[in-house]
Amino acid sequence: MKKQKHGVKKTIDLYQKHLLYPRTKGFVTTVQHLRKAKHVKAVYDMTIAYSKHNKWHEAPTIWESLSCGDLSGKRGYKFHVEVKRFPLDELPESDAGLAKWLETRWIEKGEYLEEKREEWSRVGNGQKSIKA
């Protein structure tokens, strides 16, 4: 049992490197209320990965974002946005099921960001690491 807890802790530590732990109670409450709205059909999950000059997760400042028309060229930023759509009627009905579903998305998102960091760390033919 102790070994299993250590493995879970290690996994959580890996994902917390890129993400905050999900707020399941707020998410569950929100989804349960959204189900009552006839015009809301889906939940969207958005992930934004970015780096600047081989520094992983260095975000542009608000000033850089507003004053520079080309962050990727002039300022050296690299962005990737991934959006996933999840129809509400395909999400679990129970509160516990929704919380588990959100935690699963969190794990998948952490894995995705770690893969993106590793992918972006390879520059040219050689290996160059991006600081996490």
Q: pLDDT tens-digit profile of 7-17? A: 555 555 655 66
The answer to pTM > 0.75 is no
| Whole-number Å distance between alpha carbons of 14 and 110 | 8
Q: How many CA atoms lie within 13 A of 86 on its CB side?
A: 15
Residue 95 vs residue 53, higher pLDDT: 95
Q: What is the helix (H) or strand (E) element at residue 113, kind and residue range?
A: helix 95-121
What percentage of the chain reaches a pLDDT higher than 90? Answer: 36
Q: Which of 50-78 are b and which e, b meaning 16 or more Cβ less than 10 Å from the residue's Cβ?
A: bbbeeebeeebeeeeeeeeeebeeeeebb
Which of 22-31, 36-45, 120-129 shows the lowest mean pLDDT across its residues? 120-129
Q: pLDDT tens-digit profile of 49-93? A: 877 766 666 667 777 776 776 666 666 777 788 999 999 999 999
Q: Which residues contact 84 (CB under 8 A, 6 or more apart)?
A: 44, 45
| Whole-number Å distance between alpha carbons of 107 and 116 | 14
